[in-house]
Chain A
Amino acid sequence: MQMKQVLLVGYRSDRKAILERLQRLGVMDIRSARREDEQVEGFLREDTRQQAASFERAAASLAQAVAVLNEIQPEKKGVLGMLNGRREIGMDRFEACAAEAGKQLEEAYGILALHKRKAECQGEIQRLTALLAQLEPWQTMDVPFSFTGTRRTAAFIGSFPSAGTEADWTAALAEKLPEGTPFQITVYSSSPEQSCVTVLCLRQDEQAVELALRGLAFAKPPLLSADLPTQAARERTEKQQALRDEITQIDAQLAEKTVLREALQETADYYTVRAEKYRMIGELWQTRHTFAAYGYVPAQDVPRLQRELCEKLPVLMDVQDADPAEAPVKLKNNGFTAPAASLTRMYALPGPDDIDPTPVMSFFYYLMFGMMFSDAGYGLLMVIACALALKFTRPEEGMRQNMKLFLYCGISTTIWGFLFGGFFGDAIAVISGNFFGRQITLQPLLLNPMKEPVTLLLMSFGIGMVQILVGLGCRFYNTWRHGDRWGAVFDTGFWMTMLIGLSILAIGMATSPVVLYIGAGIAIASAVGLVLTQGRKNKGVMKVVGGLASLYDSTGYLSDLMSYSRLMALGLTTGVLAQVFNMIGAMFGKGLVGALIMIPVFFIGHAINFGLNVLGTYVHTLRLQYVELFSKFYEGGGRPFEPFAFHSKYTRIKEENKS
């Protein structure tokens, strides 16, 4: 699409209004920033990064708050709703956000605070659960953990790291103490991990006993409170309950806030848009009273910019033709080719010397997709599904184009399906033969791939040859356009005539010797031409050697051609797999029982086949375009057109009138 280079100059006092309008129009790719390191005398830049960052933080907080609300109560979307894009809101609604932005941000902070408190409560509950598990083995103890003994006796409360009865531990401890030291051990619980005990002894033996206990790896209890273990456990259970109640309360509070979701989303978008505007202000060149914005506008949008901006606000606009090497790229497409533009974008945008390959590619994409999928039943399913989705949903632009892509591919698939006689494989023949006793076969309009695979293979090569020639034709046109006419004829033209000659030769082999000789003649003449011209940049003898060496390129064309055998192979895959599922379905005989089994087998089988093959077809058709077609003439490397516009996350802002 033709780009214009645009320079806007205005008063600084109008800066805000001008930028807002530019952003709303969304037609200008402002590139001042790309000249960052350039210093221009007398101009300065305003540092707006802080403001921009603070708006971004606000947008992020609002987005988090929305995420919290979504966790509490997910947004309701139906099956079709999934396809819908962002919600549409009017410009007036969007502008109203400004007035309430502060209030909504407070709400968002409130929601986030509640969410944080909830997380704290959950953490505390977990900690208490762990503690309760530790208290569990102590529940039968009738003294508090802090009990250390009376005036005459000393008490040790704690645990041994293994299982054992009172007798076991008494024996173990007595072994470590001087003979005859009196003590008593009470075991409250015992498990392989630990035995919870109290050890009582006389005050005078306290140190000796403590030392002996340490030798047995005696450990302190989980907490040292003045409460009885039962009391301690009860208190903590109560506390847990209180925390649980608090969480329920918070959830209820958050659930009440879900009515704010849409307002929060809109405010988040408001801040995002504002942050972008401020970042843009930082990139503009400014003097004390004026500012300048420099960038690119698609030629077709220039009048609109003129009308909407220059006539309404005091701003000077200077429009020049853009240098194609510098200008960003926006693909221009009509309704037929636009769906395939995303496929071109996935490869690379056209570079400065390229022609846009989308029109050529889209035609071949639809054609080859249909040929590989080649089943009228599947094709009709695609057409119906995409047509319904397009009619009843409001998808984002990218999604809408994908739906259209599959709609067109579906139409092509249906046509090829009838040409090859495939309708859910051979479903018509199987069902009619099995249940109605009279086999009705859907006759292929062109040929039956199972019966005549070789014809189909030759047809695939034929289509491949056409695509290769079209690719070379594009290269011819492009080289010619750039002034290298001899190069176009020598490097591309001779190869084209060579391939045409070889094709005629191949046809001649099957038909008449006259055609064969004509083809051979053209091919030989082209080969001579190649040998004579391809070494023209070399010197002396190398001229001929270079020319002969160039004939080696024909192996490249041969392998390109072989690659088109996938048109036949994938077509057969779809057909054979469909037949297999039909056969399995029909295996259970006639009558009601047979039908009852056949229906689910049929549905599941064809769903699997559809899924597997639609994916394979998509990928392999794409490969043929990228490797076999694009390699002939397309370089890529363009920079995408990224206008200064509303890049909102939740809503699409709709202009009330497009005038």
Chain B
Amino acid sequence: MTIGAAFTLAGAGLAMFAGIGSAKGVGMACEAGTGVLTEDPSKFGKLLVLELLPGTQGLYGFIVAFLIMIQSGVMNGGLGTISTETGLQYLAASVAIGIVGLFSAIAQGRAAVASIAMIAKKPGEFGKGLVSTTLVEIYALLSFLISLLCVINI
């Protein structure tokens, strides 16, 4: 295996850092949501939506990692032919989603927790809590676009 291949794999791994944030964000939201469910199990449907919102960053990271693997040839045995420059490029391309995804998912998790607390008291305000939580998403989305466009153009 070349050094370039190692960098490429590290790039795929870095993109998946967004998954750490998602796991943390979803975890926080689920903790809060489960607390609400003990009082009122009928809110499950609404809570589920909020609990899953911080999960998208992990998906974005996964898509970038997967595209890196497809495009660099990891999936069909082309691992030996990647040059060091290309490998470094893949690594650099995944910085955006890896780091922004990691932190934005945690921030979104906190917003989701706050919205869940609101829904516990005022279930009618679900729409507003939902929108507030998705406001965080845009930054993860933008970094995903950057990483994606970078990977595709390598």
Whether A559 and B145, one on each chain, are in contact in the complex, defined by CB atoms closer than 8 angstroms, is no
CB distance from B19 to the nearest CB of A (A): 14
Q: Type the 1/0 row for A314-356, where 1 means its CB is closer than 8 Å to any CB of B.
A: 0000000000000000000000000000000011100000000
> Can you list 8 A-B contacts (CB < 8 A)?
A453-B148, A563-B138, A569-B148, A576-B66, A577-B62, A622-B127, A622-B131, A627-B135
A641 contacts across to B, CB distance below 8 A: none
A568's nearest neighbour on chain B, judged by CB, is B145
A565 contacts across to B, CB distance below 8 A: 141-142, 145
CB distance from B4 to the nearest CB of A (A): 24
A577 contacts across to B, CB distance below 8 A: 59, 62-63
Whether A612 and B149, one on each chain, are in contact in the complex, defined by CB atoms closer than 8 angstroms, is no
Known A-B contacts A454-B149, A569-B60, A615-B49; A576 and B67 likewise in contact (beta carbons under 8 Å): yes
- Tell me which residues from 114 to 138 in chain B have a Cβ below 8 Å from any Cβ of chain A: 126-128, 130-131, 134-135, 137-138
CB distance from B119 to the nearest CB of A (A): 12
Partner of B131, one of A576, A612, A616, A626: A626
Q: Type the 1/0 row for B49-76, where 1 means its CB is closer than 8 Å to any CB of A.
A: 1001101100110110011000000010
Whether B137 and A612, one on each chain, are in contact in the complex, defined by CB atoms closer than 8 angstroms, is no
Q: Type the 1/0 row for A589-630, where 1 means its CB is closer than 8 Å to any CB of B.
A: 000000000000000000000001001101110110011000
A451's nearest neighbour on chain B, judged by CB, is B152
Known A-B contacts A453-B149, A454-B149, A565-B145; A346 and B126 likewise in contact (beta carbons under 8 Å): yes
A260 contacts across to B, CB distance below 8 A: none
Whether B145 and A457, one on each chain, are in contact in the complex, defined by CB atoms closer than 8 angstroms, is yes
6 extra interface residue pairs, beta carbon distance < 8 Å, beyond A453-B148, A620-B134: A346-B127, A453-B152, A457-B145, A572-B63, A626-B131, A627-B134
Whether A626 and B149, one on each chain, are in contact in the complex, defined by CB atoms closer than 8 angstroms, is no
A619 contacts across to B, CB distance below 8 A: 49, 53, 130, 134
Tell me whether B144 is interfacial, beta carbon within 8 Å: yes
Tell me whether B37 is interfacial, beta carbon within 8 Å: no
Tell me whether A277 is interfacial, beta carbon within 8 Å: no
- Tell me which residues from 16 to 48 in chain B have a Cβ below 8 Å from any Cβ of chain A: 48
CB distance from B58 to the nearest CB of A (A): 10
Partner of B66, one of A454, A580, A618, A620: A580
B145's nearest neighbour on chain A, judged by CB, is A565
Partner of B138, one of A562, A572, A573: A562
CB distance from B75 to the nearest CB of A (A): 8
CB distance from A399 to the nearest CB of B (A): 12
A569 contacts across to B, CB distance below 8 A: 60, 141, 144-145, 148
Tell me whether A261 is interfacial, beta carbon within 8 Å: no
B66 contacts across to A, CB distance below 8 A: 576, 580
Whether B52 and A616, one on each chain, are in contact in the complex, defined by CB atoms closer than 8 angstroms, is yes
A347–B125 Cα distance when bound, in Å, is 8
Interface residues of A (CB under 8 A from B): 346-348, 453-454, 457, 559, 562-563, 565-566, 568-569, 572-573, 576-577, 580, 583, 612, 615-616, 618-620, 622-623, 626-627
A615–B144 Cα distance when bound, in Å, is 19
- Tell me which residues from 56 to 101 in chain B have a Cβ below 8 Å from any Cβ of chain A: 56, 59-60, 62-63, 66-67, 75
B144 contacts across to A, CB distance below 8 A: 569
Whether B53 and A612, one on each chain, are in contact in the complex, defined by CB atoms closer than 8 angstroms, is no
CB distance from B34 to the nearest CB of A (A): 18
A620–B60 Cα distance when bound, in Å, is 15
Whether A623 and B130, one on each chain, are in contact in the complex, defined by CB atoms closer than 8 angstroms, is yes
CB distance from B26 to the nearest CB of A (A): 12
Partner of A626, one of B56, B127, B137, B152: B127
A563 contacts across to B, CB distance below 8 A: 138, 141
A565–B56 Cα distance when bound, in Å, is 14
Known A-B contacts A453-B149, A576-B66, A577-B59; A566 and B48 likewise in contact (beta carbons under 8 Å): no
B135 contacts across to A, CB distance below 8 A: 627
A580 contacts across to B, CB distance below 8 A: 66
A640–B135 Cα distance when bound, in Å, is 28
B148 contacts across to A, CB distance below 8 A: 453, 569, 572
Whether A615 and B48, one on each chain, are in contact in the complex, defined by CB atoms closer than 8 angstroms, is yes
A562–B146 Cα distance when bound, in Å, is 12
A622–B46 Cα distance when bound, in Å, is 14
A346 contacts across to B, CB distance below 8 A: 126-127
A559–B131 Cα distance when bound, in Å, is 16
A576–B15 Cα distance when bound, in Å, is 15
A583–B74 Cα distance when bound, in Å, is 14
Whether B134 and A623, one on each chain, are in contact in the complex, defined by CB atoms closer than 8 angstroms, is yes
A348–B124 Cα distance when bound, in Å, is 10
B55's nearest neighbour on chain A, judged by CB, is A612
A612 contacts across to B, CB distance below 8 A: 52, 55, 59
A626–B131 Cα distance when bound, in Å, is 7
A566 contacts across to B, CB distance below 8 A: 137, 141
A454 contacts across to B, CB distance below 8 A: 149, 152
CB distance from A177 to the nearest CB of B (A): 57
B63 contacts across to A, CB distance below 8 A: 572-573, 576-577
Whether A559 and B67, one on each chain, are in contact in the complex, defined by CB atoms closer than 8 angstroms, is no
CB distance from B140 to the nearest CB of A (A): 9
A562 contacts across to B, CB distance below 8 A: 138, 142
Partner of A627, one of B49, B131, B149, B152: B131
A347 contacts across to B, CB distance below 8 A: 127-128
Partner of A559, one of B49, B60, B138: B138
B49 contacts across to A, CB distance below 8 A: 615, 618-619
A450's nearest neighbour on chain B, judged by CB, is B67
B138's nearest neighbour on chain A, judged by CB, is A563
A568–B142 Cα distance when bound, in Å, is 11
A615 contacts across to B, CB distance below 8 A: 48-49, 52
A457's nearest neighbour on chain B, judged by CB, is B145
A627 contacts across to B, CB distance below 8 A: 131, 134-135
B56 contacts across to A, CB distance below 8 A: 573, 616
A573–B60 Cα distance when bound, in Å, is 7
Whether B130 and A622, one on each chain, are in contact in the complex, defined by CB atoms closer than 8 angstroms, is yes
A573 contacts across to B, CB distance below 8 A: 56, 59-60, 63
CB distance from B71 to the nearest CB of A (A): 10
B137 contacts across to A, CB distance below 8 A: 566, 620, 623
B153's nearest neighbour on chain A, judged by CB, is A454
CB distance from A563 to the nearest CB of B (A): 6
A453–B149 Cα distance when bound, in Å, is 8
B60 contacts across to A, CB distance below 8 A: 569, 573
B148's nearest neighbour on chain A, judged by CB, is A453
CB distance from A611 to the nearest CB of B (A): 9
B62 contacts across to A, CB distance below 8 A: 576-577
A310–B142 Cα distance when bound, in Å, is 63
A626–B129 Cα distance when bound, in Å, is 12
B145 contacts across to A, CB distance below 8 A: 457, 565, 568-569
CB distance from A189 to the nearest CB of B (A): 42
B67 contacts across to A, CB distance below 8 A: 576
A623 contacts across to B, CB distance below 8 A: 130-131, 134, 137
